Amino acid sequence: MMSVKEYALDVNKTVEEILNKCQELGLDVRMPDDMLDEEMIIELDNATFDIEEENFEEIDTEPIKKVEPIKSKKKIDTSKKDLARRKKQMYKNKEKLISNTPINDDKIVLYKENMTVAQLAKALNVNGSELVKKLFSLGIMATLNNTIDFENAEILVLDYNKTLKREETADVTNFEAFEVVDNPEDLTSRPPVVTIMGHVDHGKTTLLDTIRKANVVETEAGGITQAISAYQVKHNDKLITFIDTPGHAAFTEMRSRGAKITDIIIIIVAADDGVMPQTKEAIDHALAAKVPIIVAINKMDKPGANPERVMTELSECGLMPEEWGGDVLYNKISALNGDGIDELLENILLVAEMNEYKANPNRYAMGSVIESRLDKHVGPIVTLLVQNGTLRLGDPIVVGDTFGKIRTLKNDKNEEITKALPSQPVEVTGLNDTPIAGDKFMSFATEKEARSISEQRKKAKALNKTSKTPVTLDELFSKIGDGFKEINVLIKADVHGSSEAVKNSLEKIEVEGVRVNVIRSSVGAITESDIVLAKASNAIIIGFNVRPNNMIKDSAKEAGVEIRFYNIIYKAVEDIQAAMKGLLDPVYEEKVIGNATVKQLFKFSKVGTIAGSMVNEGVIKRGAQARIIRDDVVIYDGIIGSVQREKDAVKEVKKGLECGITIEGYNDIKVDDVIETYEMVEINE
């Protein structure tokens, strides 16, 4: 029940009008304080607002949620039916106005998350108290500072012949995956970011030293780069940013963390030395990054310089020179004398011009960590590369899962500055912890927001430590269905012939438009660098007659990189092909049950070679399958013939004990060989 006065306020009529209507209907109501029961209210509604009873059930009778009312005040006691009636009436009054009126930008009001009544009033350009009264008529007691939900805001906005739309906001908590969409009119050209990679002592640091006219080599041990740094130089009145890394693995580790830090990669090769193993690794990492590559053939001033040989070797690695019909620019330089440096810089600017690198300086800054260190007096000191937006002194930022406020801002010349533009490297202080190289950063409007997002990121990290897990063969078919067009594979084999054979066989596979992309094929044991590259490239590692040590196995497991082992080429091809077709259905998997290191050899004419060994892990069993591993390469695969403990033949020997081991049909065992025993275990489907 409610009084005539309350009802008049509810339906936005005068008390006199309601009393007159009561007289017309013959209701026994004469004074403003007289009470109206539910039947009287329904009768008045039908008479005053012409609401058809048969349509009343179609009205959404859910109660409109109260919007953070002040605790000291009470909500008007109204029924669900009353609120539904009011809601229908407000829509009904406006239906004719908006049904034939096209919606334009002037008619749209954006609803922001946690919007207050005052903010809505500002968006509508009306007095806030007016909205408070309208909410009161809906049975909601609220002040200007209370938030309003979308449903109630929609009713109020409709009363002003406008339409409410939710503002589409991106989830900035995971800003690594945040897709920046800038207005083309706001974009301006930015300096290209260049990374120099190559074999050790081929002149990376000397080249940078010559370019920036500062002697860095003398301050570094042996002339080899010891830390990740960034510098800016000017050529023809245009800036170029150089990232100097201690090795291609550090560059790829950044990329594996989601930090695309470079626009152009320079592969530097010594003209008198040619392509070295580390050069090939650098090329693999550069090609996997899928950015433009420029080759700098260095040390042209040396007597033994042979650039033609270098170009031939590099073309075999997939870097075909432009002058030979390829698409890779080559420069012949002498980093020591400065010869050819101008031409190299001009080529960098040419590639930058062709790719039109742009950014929006009029937004909050985003970028990546180049390096960080902890100073006992200052705290965390971090080198950042601004990749979009403008970073200003005093900006609150989130870096990885840490946050802070920019307390000092210095450029690469150690000069104090107040802001940093896109592609500019800067050194900052003010973070509450030391981030990791490759971590992404983003600046925010308030320190409170930065702290909140940092805490959310810490929680998310705890729930899911591996944000990016490379694909496995078992998942391959489903991934192809999700749009995979290339399956990245990294091959490590015992000999060059095997690696080439495996590579050629895998590259010939093509299933439903999906192909195998071999990102690296090399000889030797699986290394940490292979794990890093596989993680960054979402690749599977295929080991052909090679076995990783325990440290590498642990590293692969931690990174989520799958390693598959083979000793028959067609089996590797069958597995990849079957996986691509969705037919891979492994029945057995290998389980390593133990390994032992050979410490001493005993040779007997009747028995053969007995390997005196120490069991390192698990057990060594008689009759078990075993492989002999020498320098991380499998040299023989056979069966344990016998196991002796002291003078007795035994079935097995456990970890920590010494024993004598013979291998059936194989006597060429050497000291320090590793005997690894394994068995094939059936997988339960």
Q: Is residue 506 part of a domain?
A: yes
Question: What's the pLDDT band for 239 if we cut at 50, 70, 90?
Answer: very high
Say if residue 552 is in the same domain as residue 595.
Answer: no
Say if residue 371 is in the same domain as residue 453.
Answer: yes
On the question of pLDDT at 586 being above 60, the answer is no
On the question of pLDDT at 332 being above 50, the answer is yes
Say if residue 160 is in the same domain as residue 195.
Answer: no
* pLDDT mean over 249-255: 58
| pLDDT given at position 34 | 81
Last residue of a domain, one of 444, 463, 482: 463
On the question of pLDDT at 65 being above 60, the answer is no
Say if residue 324 is in the same domain as residue 218.
Answer: yes
Of 170-179, 351-360, 385-394, the one with minimum mean pLDDT is 170-179
Question: What's the pLDDT band for 616 if we cut at 50, 70, 90?
Answer: very high
Question: What's the pLDDT band for 64 if we cut at 50, 70, 90?
Answer: very low
Residue 400 CA to residue 571 CA, distance in Å, equals 42
Question: What's the pLDDT band for 199 if we cut at 50, 70, 90?
Answer: confident
Residue 578 CA to residue 593 CA, distance in Å, equals 28
Backbone angles phi, psi at 256, to 5 degrees: -65, -20
Interval 76-100: pLDDT, tens: 344 444 555 554 454 444 333 333 3
Residue 644 CA to residue 589 CA, distance in Å, equals 29
Q: Where are the alpha helices (DSSP H) in 495-527?
A: 496-507
Q: Is residue 240 part of a domain?
A: yes
Say if residue 455 is in the same domain as residue 510.
Answer: no
Number of H helices, E strands in the chain: 18, 33
* pLDDT mean over 245-257: 56
Q: Is residue 342 part of a domain?
A: yes
| pLDDT given at position 254 | 61
On the question of pLDDT at 206 being above 90, the answer is no
Instruction: Look up the CATH number of the domain holding residue 418.
Output: 2.40.30.10
Say if residue 69 is in the same domain as residue 116.
Answer: yes
Say if residue 331 is in the same domain as residue 239.
Answer: yes
Q: Is residue 291 part of a domain?
A: yes
Last residue of a domain, one of 356, 378, 403: 356
| pLDDT given at position 478 | 56
Q: Is residue 61 part of a domain?
A: yes
Of 22-26, 323-327, 458-462, the one with minimum mean pLDDT is 458-462
Say if residue 352 is in the same domain as residue 213.
Answer: yes
Closest by alpha carbon to 331, among 296, 301, 306?
Answer: 296
How far lies 503's CA from each of 152, 488, 506, 519, 578, in Å? Answer: 64, 12, 5, 10, 17
Q: Is residue 543 part of a domain?
A: yes
Say if residue 315 is in the same domain as residue 411.
Answer: no
Q: Is residue 35 part of a domain?
A: no
| pLDDT given at position 470 | 53
* pLDDT mean over 599-604: 90
Count structural domains, the chain. Answer: 5
Of 314-328, 397-411, 507-521, the one with minimum mean pLDDT is 507-521
Say if residue 215 is in the same domain as residue 327.
Answer: yes
The tokens describing 535, both together, are: 């993680």
Say if residue 614 is in the same domain as residue 649.
Answer: yes
Q: Across the chain, what does the average pLDDT equal?
A: 79
183 or 492, higher pLDDT: 492
Say if residue 69 is in the same domain as residue 122.
Answer: yes
Q: What domain range includes position 124?
A: 51-166
Instruction: Look up the CATH number of the domain holding residue 270.
Output: 3.40.50.300
Q: Give residue 413's region: left, alpha or beta (phi > 0; psi -120 to 50).
A: alpha
Instruction: Look up the CATH number of the domain holding residue 543.
Output: 3.40.50.10050
On the question of pLDDT at 207 being above 80, the answer is yes
Please name the residue that has the structure tokens 């300096």.
191
Of 107-116, 360-369, 549-558, 649-658, the one with minimum mean pLDDT is 107-116
On the question of pLDDT at 256 being above 50, the answer is yes
163 close to 125: Cβ distance less than 8 angstroms:
no
- Report the range out of 188-192, 335-339, 474-478, 547-551 with the highest average pLDDT: 188-192
Reported residue count of the chain is 685
| pLDDT given at position 516 | 84
Last residue of a domain, one of 117, 150, 166: 166
642 close to 564: Cβ distance less than 8 angstroms:
no
On the question of pLDDT at 245 being above 70, the answer is no
Please name the residue that has the structure tokens 């002796």.
644
On the question of pLDDT at 62 being above 90, the answer is no
Question: What's the pLDDT band for 477 if we cut at 50, 70, 90?
Answer: low
Q: Is residue 66 part of a domain?
A: yes
